Structure 1
Amino acid sequence: MSSPHLKAVIFDIGGVVCRSPLIAIAAYEREYGIPPNYINCSIQGRGAHGAWQKFERGEIPLFEFYAEFGRELSDTKAGNAWYAEYCRRKGIECPQLPDGLNIDGRELFGRMMREAGTLDEVVVQAIRRIKAAGKWRVIALTNNFAKTDIDVRELPRSAAQGTRFTVESELAFLGWHEGPTPSHLRALFDDFCDSSTFGMRKPEPEFYLLACKRNGIQPNEAVFLDDLGINLKAAQKLGMEVIHVPIGGSREAIKKLEEKLGIDLTSGLQPSEWTPSKM
């Protein structure tokens, strides 16, 4: 059913426009024998004050984040409690939980960012067609890291080689060859709302409302696409229409958007699931 009142389409980036970093987390858990979704439970369990959340708001520098992120995820006392509660809430049997973990925050974050460096051509084509129609504002609303600036003074020395990291080598390690938000990604949108720039993040209602205010719309005049239920619920409470984009389900999600907007967003494209092009 079409929604003729809509004035804007709001897209999440990681997991919608780009490949989900959750894929890298799942692979890391399998490699190290960590229960599925354990790491994400630990990230979410920290609430608004964890290293991940602070980094997304642009409050801590990169290498400080690495250390704090790894330290928090290695805290099995807290992590096991959060995971046991997650299993209870989901009604699933709790597996044997780790006695100890030594998670390298830099290594995990690097894997996540490299995974998220691939664009989903189904979504990119939809964005281009929406913009070409000229009827809707196209907005990015992302928990992201645009504010990240690698300070050469914080680059550590490699214990193995006795040499220092470089800004260039660290950007390459993260897959950020043009920075965390390259210009060709930003160019897809009429407005790009990045959590680290504005010091707020999803699912904080203020972040959604800021995006609406910047673009001259009311929440009930927007449809929002995201891969995380917690972010969709927050948008829905504000009056936005929402579409869930599960991993591997972008084509189905864009078909739902197609129905809401009443324009063709999917014909004429038969790509592989993800484009080989990197951000």
Structure 2
Amino acid sequence: MTLKAVIFDIGGVVVGSPLFAINRYEKDHGLPFEYLNVAITAQGHGGAFQQFERSELDLYTFYRRFGEELSNVEKNNEAYIKFCKSRGQEVPELPSKLQVDGRELFGRMMKESTKVDPKMRNAIMRLKASGKFKIAALTNNFAPPTEIPNTLQDGASKAPSLEEELERLGFGASQSDLKSLFDFYIESAVVGKRKPDPEFYKYALDLLKVQATEVVFLDDIGPNLKSAQKLGITTIRKYPSRLQVLRASSSA
């Protein structure tokens, strides 16, 4: 069947990966590589991060719960041990206690996700210019806050202004510029579903008015690609460059 649409993930494909920011946070706090990423995934469908990307939590409730979940060493150590064993890796020394600042970590993740890869930008623009394909983004994201409480729920005495928090999270001119690259910008926070839920992909196919076999989908996360493949979508995995990996591992 003829290719009619190309769908791009955003974080880790079109812009920098928040995983790099997580890895740097791990290094800064003496945690094993991928410890927090494994912990986020281990929370499952009802985790704070997962709920936040479906617009089921407000920003500051998310910050608090995100930090609490990632600070639960009993649950997260168990998940990391399983992760290591599944890959035949030796289990490193694990934390006996941990206090993750959910707001700080998420802010780092969002800062990493504001930098558009110029090569990907050029590729998208060339595809659009050809006039042969519908170009879409399919992203797990979150709705920007519309108000800030008088006091932060993590105990800080004074909350930042709404404008300061929006800027800190990467909402601004760069966000509008990013969306303008695509014919369709499909957001988990708007739809109420997130990858790898098959229904999120089906929503995108219906919106674009294409069949699964008429689509190529690019993502950097295996489970997201596998879910698309099961629907008959052709997938391409975007891997980080060696330079990106080096920067992530060496940054303080």
Question: Same fold by TM-score, threshold 0.5 exceeded?
Answer: yes
Give unmatched runs, 5+ long, in structure 2: 248-252
Instruction: Assess if the C-alpha contact under 8 Å between 1:140 and 1:189 holds in 2.
Output: yes
Within the alignment, does 1:184 sit opposite 2:181 as a pair? no
How far off is 1:157 after superposition?
Answer: 8.2
Instruction: Assess if the C-alpha contact under 8 Å between 2:64 and 2:153 holds in 1.
Output: no
Percent of paired sites with the same residue: 46
Within the alignment, does 1:167 sit opposite 2:169 as a pair? no
Residue from 223, 226, 235 that aligns with 1:233: 226
Instruction: Assess if the C-alpha contact under 8 Å between 2:64 and 2:102 holds in 1.
Output: yes
Instruction: Assess if the C-alpha contact under 8 Å between 2:151 and 2:158 holds in 1.
Output: no
Which residue of 2 is the match for residue 262 of structure 1? none
Within the alignment, does 1:198 sit opposite 2:194 as a pair? no
Which residue of 2 is the match for residue 55 of structure 1? 52
Residue identity opposite 2:66 in structure 1: F
Give unmatched runs, 5+ long, in structure 1: 251-272, 274-279
Equivalences for residues 42-191 of structure 1 within 5 A: 42-145=39-142, 147-153=143-149, 156=152, 162-178=157-173, 182-191=175-184
Question: Partners in 1 of 2:103 and 2:183 — Cα distance?
Answer: 33
Instruction: Assess if the C-alpha contact under 8 Å between 2:7 and 2:216 holds in 1.
Output: yes
How far off is 1:172 after superposition?
Answer: 2.4
Go from structure 1 to structure 2 and tell me whether the alpha carbon gap of 1:208 and 1:154 turns closer, same or farther (over 3 Å shift).
farther
Instruction: Assess if the C-alpha contact under 8 Å between 2:61 and 2:153 holds in 1.
Output: no
Which residue of 2 is the match for residue 215 of structure 1? 208
Residue identity opposite 1:183 in structure 2: S
Instruction: Assess if the C-alpha contact under 8 Å between 1:157 and 1:164 holds in 2.
Output: no
Residue identity opposite 2:131 in structure 1: G
Instruction: Assess if the C-alpha contact under 8 Å between 1:19 and 1:119 holds in 2.
Output: yes
The secondary structure found in structure 2 opposite 1:152 is: coil
> Aligned-pair RMSD on alpha carbons?
2.0
The secondary structure found in structure 2 opposite 1:236 is: helix
Q: After TM superposition, where is structure 1 displaced by more than 4 Å over at least 4 residues in a row?
A: 157-160
Within the alignment, does 1:13 sit opposite 2:6 as a pair? no
Instruction: Assess if the C-alpha contact under 8 Å between 2:149 and 2:159 holds in 1.
Output: no
Residue identity opposite 1:228 in structure 2: I
Question: Partners in 2 of 1:93 and 1:157 — Cα distance?
Answer: 38
The secondary structure found in structure 2 opposite 1:16 is: coil
Instruction: Assess if the C-alpha contact under 8 Å between 1:11 and 1:140 holds in 2.
Output: yes
Question: Partners in 1 of 2:4 and 2:78 — Cα distance?
Answer: 44
Residue identity opposite 1:206 in structure 2: E
Question: Partners in 2 of 1:27 and 1:196 — Cα distance?
Answer: 26
The secondary structure found in structure 1 opposite 2:109 is: helix
Instruction: Assess if the C-alpha contact under 8 Å between 2:17 and 2:112 holds in 1.
Output: yes
Go from structure 1 to structure 2 and tell me whether the alpha carbon gap of 1:19 and 1:73 turns closer, same or farther (over 3 Å shift).
same
Structure 1 residues 67-109: Cα deviation after superposition (integer angstroms, max 9, x where no partner):
0000000000110010000001011001011101100000000
The secondary structure found in structure 2 opposite 1:182 is: helix
The secondary structure found in structure 1 opposite 2:164 is: helix
TM-score when normalising by structure 2:
0.92
Within the alignment, does 1:248 sit opposite 2:241 as a pair? yes
Which residue of 2 is the match for residue 258 of structure 1? none
How far off is 1:249 after superposition?
Answer: 7.2
Q: Provide the aligned length of Structure 1 versus Structure 2.
A: 244
Instruction: Assess if the C-alpha contact under 8 Å between 1:158 and 1:165 holds in 2.
Output: no
Which residue of 1 is the match for residue 250 of structure 2? none
Go from structure 1 to structure 2 and tell me whether the alpha carbon gap of 1:221 and 1:155 turns closer, same or farther (over 3 Å shift).
farther
